[in-house]
Chain A
Amino acid sequence: MATRGFTGRRPPEATRERLPPGQYLEQDFPVLQIGPNPRIDLDSWSFTLREGSRPLKSWNWEEFSALPRTAWRGDIHCVTKWSKFDTGWEGVSIDDILAAAGISAPTEFLLAEGYDDYTTNVPVADLAGPKAMVATHYEGKPIEPDHGGPARLLVPHLYFWKSAKWVKGLRFTKKDEGGFWELRGYHMYGDPWREQRFTGD
């Protein structure tokens, strides 16, 4: 059903091909979060893998910074409709984190947990490979607090609410448990190319 009088401003073909359905290209880097920036001191920062409530392995900032580094550059897509192209991130891949812990993933699902008590669920299979990481740098500089620094999850092939800011750990769960937004009507998986914004999409 066409909207009377709406013609739209189509972006160039090359841009349209890179935009998932319903998205528009943003040049800035908008900030979205549920509350204030948590105040994080690097001296007391830690990153912990848990299975349920049981800690499996924990790193302090110095230890975490010594892990192998991974870089990724590409496009990110926010469920609020903006996409940003060619963003450059650096951090530690989830594969390398698991290797450093000397374990393989104990379950097929996990919840990423933030210092602001935010949570979001991601299937473990989606965290394999060089693009899923705990990122500490954006465009060559430490990630600013507004964008989730000192460390945030990066899962760029899913809507960006899955890339939890101020991440403090990953908690493996037996089944796929919804996180903060997933319990409030947002999609459990969140694939931008299938426009999985909300439950049932």
Chain B
Amino acid sequence: MIDPGARPLPWRSATIVAIAAVTARVKNFRLRVAFDRPMLAGQHVDVRLTAPDGYQAQRSYSIASAPNEEGWIDLMIEGLPDGEVSGFFDTVAEVGDTIELRGPIGGSFVWRPEDGGPLLLVGGGSGVVPLLSMLRHRAVRAPDVPALLLYSARDAGEVLARDELLQRARDEAGFDLMLNLTRETGGRRIDAALIAEALERIGRPRHAYLCGSNGFVGHAADLLVDAGLAPATIRTERFGG
């Protein structure tokens, strides 16, 4: 839990130091920013953009990178055609640009190495981003904690960090990956059978983290409760909200 006497959370300037394509629609933005408090895996930041006349727009984005001491974070942002802020990132933002950030924010959808496992991560689409932060953190700080990622995406081209996840599944003893591609041959929405398979592979999880669209997360949470998980062990975060 975060200190209830917490200090104010100031806006900070953050400089884009690298931009890389993740999929056809999603780019990774590495931002140099000096936070005044430690980050936890699973947290998000608020981003603020300011127009010349002072008009401002704010949005929240989950952090994809693991907590580090090096003064940078990664955000993965999908370029939505009508997105006021995501559209800026997609078509305007360049290396060297400065934006404003505040964070890290959120003390519920977070995992710390000492929280242990087994860890069941269930992500839908871009909802995998905060789960990626947890997996990257786990690999460095708690590789002995068993973890399984059940990741549902429309097709292989939309899987974020696909090569990294496949490599982790090959190289990391305690990490298991189940990719569910809903629009490819044999693909389906996640269902009780997929959840049962995940639980058989990982064992009874101590913590489950679910992130994705509202429909995806609600459905997955119901399936996990149906499968007998204690509701208090399930943490949810929804996009589009």
CA distance A18 to B195 in the complex (A): 44
List CB contacts (< 8 Å) of A175-201 with chain B. 178, 180-185, 197-201
Identify which of A64-72, A75-83, A88-96 touches chain B: A75-83
Taking the closest CB of chain B, its distance from the CB of A44, in whole angstroms, is 16
Taking the closest CB of chain A, its distance from the CB of B98, in whole angstroms, is 8
Identify which of A24-32, A54-62, A122-130 touches chain B: A24-32
Taking the closest CB of chain A, its distance from the CB of B196, in whole angstroms, is 17
List CB contacts (< 8 Å) of A148-166 with chain B. none
List CB contacts (< 8 Å) of A3-30 with chain B. 3-10, 22, 24, 28, 30
CA distance A180 to B238 in the complex (A): 18
Interface membership of B8, Cβ < 8 A: yes
What is the number of residues of chain B that contact chain A, defined by CB distance less than 8 Å?
A: 49
Interface membership of B107, Cβ < 8 A: yes
Interface membership of B21, Cβ < 8 A: no
Interface membership of B218, Cβ < 8 A: yes
Identify which of B145-153, B155-163, B227-235 touches chain A: B227-235
Interface membership of A142, Cβ < 8 A: no
CA distance A109 to B99 in the complex (A): 39
Residues of chain A within 8 A of B60, CB atoms compared: 80-81
Taking the closest CB of chain B, its distance from the CB of A77, in whole angstroms, is 13
Identify which of A34-42, A45-53, A99-107, A132-140 touches chain B: A34-42
A contact patch SS: loop
Residues of chain B within 8 A of A117, CB atoms compared: 232
CA distance A1 to B109 in the complex (A): 32
Contact between A36 and B108, CB atoms less than 8 A apart: no
What is the number of residues of chain A that contact chain B, defined by CB distance less than 8 Å?
A: 42
Contact between A198 and B105, CB atoms less than 8 A apart: yes
Most buried by B among A32, A178, A184, A201: A184
Taking the closest CB of chain A, its distance from the CB of B72, in whole angstroms, is 19
Interface membership of B22, Cβ < 8 A: no
Contact between A30 and B231, CB atoms less than 8 A apart: no
Known: A5-B92, A178-B4, A183-B1. A36 touches B49 (CB 8 A): no
Interface membership of B240, Cβ < 8 A: yes
Residues of chain A within 8 A of B8, CB atoms compared: 198-201
Contact between A6 and B50, CB atoms less than 8 A apart: yes
17 A-B pairs whose Cβ atoms sit less than 8 Å apart in the complex: A1-B13, A1-B100, A2-B50, A2-B51, A3-B50, A7-B51, A28-B240, A31-B214, A33-B238, A36-B231, A36-B236, A81-B59, A146-B214, A180-B108, A184-B106, A185-B2, A198-B8
18 new A-B contacts at CB < 8 Å, known A31-B238, A33-B238, A81-B59: A1-B98, A3-B49, A3-B88, A3-B98, A5-B97, A6-B88, A7-B51, A24-B84, A31-B241, A35-B234, A38-B231, A81-B60, A183-B1, A184-B108, A185-B2, A185-B106, A198-B9, A201-B9
Q: Report B's interface with A, CB cutoff 8 A.
A: 1-2, 4-9, 13, 46, 48-52, 55-60, 84, 88, 92-93, 97-100, 102, 105-109, 214, 218, 221-222, 224-225, 231-232, 234-236, 238, 240-241
